[in-house]
Structure 1
Amino acid sequence: MLDAICIYDEASPETYTVFKFQKLNEADIEKYRQSLLCPACKQKAYFRKASKDGRAACFGSRYHHADCKEFKPSKAKAREELAAIEVNQQLVDSDALMIDFSRQPLSFQGRKPSIPPNDIDKKASVDPTPKRKQISADNDVLLSDTVEVGACVKADDLSEVPMSRVATQGLEKLLLSLLRGSELAKSDLWVYTDKKYRWRAKNLFVNFADAEPTENGAPRMYWGTLSHSDKKMHWLNPADCSDLGIPIEDYQEALLTNLNIQDRRDFEGAGIILFGKCFWNKDKTRKIIQLWSKDLSRLFIAKLED
């Protein structure tokens, strides 16, 4: 995409060429980049800066309508569509779905293992939420009185479900299917996050645009696309909203190694899904989504193809 519409000022939207946009000062780029739309189908768009190795700056979108003239099919889009078809079929054929957090993403095959989560320096994270009875992040135990009614229930009956009717899926295909509009986020299918607890899919999968702090920090599977990171790559900023951040400083080294990320540009426009909790910062001006137990197996990022 060579053009994008900026709706930062909704009363006076402005169309930028990529050449004009990249000439804005740094402050204006950071201010406007989360308010970009595709000029043809009006779906959320992103801006990627020029890279040090000569790749040009560009606009793009992971949400193009199929008939959008700006939509250019690629191998990545084909994978997303196949993932959406596969997940939609599982919704039809299965009585339940088990998330396999250990499943190796196809894009990671052949890489050296990243630093195990248990070896990451576990700094004391600041959690400004009231110190009420909360979910145990270390033991991943969901207490029945800390989760909204209907959101998650204890599932002692998993053994009663015929295993042939319990599908399994990894984070990569779940994310790609959501990006391509699968029915997963609207489904009533039971989804197991482990052998003990299950959720209705429509209560579990939450797009960043709809993320709200949950009672006592009850977790969800949050997903969407990334706009950019801060200069030190300590925070990730979703493109779907401007009042939310994802802290990654505590496991930054392992994450960057795992994803082979050298530059903050690599986060721009990437898809992301993570199991975590959402809460307000101290001043209640910004929402934070914190990765559950700082466990990288519960986070997946799909970088854009170059």
Structure 2
Amino acid sequence: MDIATCVEDGQTYFATQFAQLDAAELELKRRQLICSECRNPAFFRKESRDGKGACFGARPHADGCSLAVEDSGLSVPGFGDEQEGLTNFGNRIVVDLDFGAALPIEHIDQVPGAPRRPRSGPFTGGDGLGTANLHRRLRPLLRLLVEAPNFQYSDMIVEVANQPEMMVRDFFVHCSNAGFAQFNQFRGFWGQLTDARNGANGALWLNSGGQGDMSFCLPFEHQAVVMERFGIENKEEFAGAYILVLGTLRVSQNGKMLCFIDDAAMMALL
């Protein structure tokens, strides 16, 4: 969208006008943007390397907001039948962290004493005696969290190596919902980023909102791998991206909620 409002000064900006702010003012105000119509949180993205102009986007727009049409180019592509397959109750998700390797074949675990069933993918079918083990990497799971609203509230089991099994609704936590209940807990934190900032010791801070919202710390030693894996050339391209990180929620000395990205394989971006 072309316009957004900054709650810090109450002004409504055109994207081209906002892009001309000095660096310090832009970094301050870009984390305090809202949609001028529906008032939902917004983000700013500078002109991209492929020639697309500077623009704003919402995270997301409220239902019925007319400015949502302008964000069509920023939406996540459809996920098709995968949504239905993964939201079948009784399915079990095994998170695969081995980036680039072939995924194991999906199969149905046999219920003791039940007639033998073929291994036939994510749908149990028939009388439903089987339970589908679905091996999924982080990026497809992030797509589901973004596109299938009911998925994040389901009671399907999530299995992550060396971690206790949990239900989807307990394991995946939106950044806006992160709080005391998750402190020092290993979870899948996800949401949309407002911006990225350079920090001490070469770290890159990926922010999901203002000071009261959680951020992700990407240490210098993991940045090259992440940038190459997701086709990112500069920190500006993190603005508006969706992120999923498997990690532990911490609190800094000044009360800032944060999650360190200790392993590049433990994150995904869209």
Which category describes the TM-score, using the shorter chain as reference length?
A: 0.7 to 0.9
Equivalence map 1:220-239=2 (5 Å): 220-231=187-198, 234-239=203-208
Residue 8 (str. 1) matches residue 12 (str. 2): no
- RMSD of Structure 2 on Structure 1 (CA): 3.1
Say which of 204, 207, 217 aligns to 2:184.
217
Q: TM-score if structure 1 supplies the norm length?
A: 0.67
Aligned partner of 1:200 in structure 2 is 167
**Equivalent residues of 2:156, 2:167 under 8 A apart:** yes
Structure 2 match to 1:48? 45
Q: Does the Cα contact within 8 Å between 1:213 and 1:277 map onto a contact in 2?
A: no
Q: Name which of structure 1's ranges 51-60 and 39-48 shifts more when overlaid on structure 2.
A: 51-60
Corresponding residue number in structure 2 for 1:90: 86
Q: 1:101 to 1:182 in 2, by over 3 A?
A: farther
1:301 equivalent in structure 2: 269
Q: Is the 8 A contact 2:41 2:60 kept in 1?
A: yes
* TM-superposed deviation, 1:206: 0.8
Q: Distance in 1 between matches of 2:192 and 2:153?
A: 19
Q: CA deviation at 1:213?
A: 5.5
Matched-pair contact (CA < 8 Å) for 2:110–2:131: no
Query: Is residue 21 from structure 1 mapped to residue 18 from structure 2 by the alignment?
Result: yes
SS of 2:66's equivalent?
A: coil
**Percentage identity across paired residues of the two chains:** 22
Q: Is 1:175 matched up with 2:131?
A: no
Distance apart, 1:28 and its partner CA: 2.1
User: Which region of structure 1 is more displaced relative to structure 2, 53-62 or 182-191?
Assistant: 53-62
Q: 2:158 aligns with which of 184, 191, 201?
A: 191
Distance 2:146 2:60 in 1: 7
Q: Deviations over 1:86-109 (max 9, x none)?
A: 33542234342222223659xxxx
Per-residue deviation, 1:270: 0.8
TM-score by length of 2: 0.75
Partner of 1:109: none
Cα deviation, residue 21, structure 1: 1.7
Kindly provide the amino acid, as one letter, of the partner of residue 2 in structure 2: L
Q: Tell me the alpha carbon deviations over residues 25-65 of structure 1, each in whole angstroms, 9 at most, x when there is no partner.
A: 32221122122122233332210123567542211235235
Unaligned runs of 5+ in 2: 102-108, 113-128
What stretches of structure 1 of length at least 5 have no aligned partner? 106-157
Letter aligned with residue 98 of structure 1: V
Quote the Cα distance in structure 2 between the aligned partners of 1:44 and 1:104. 34
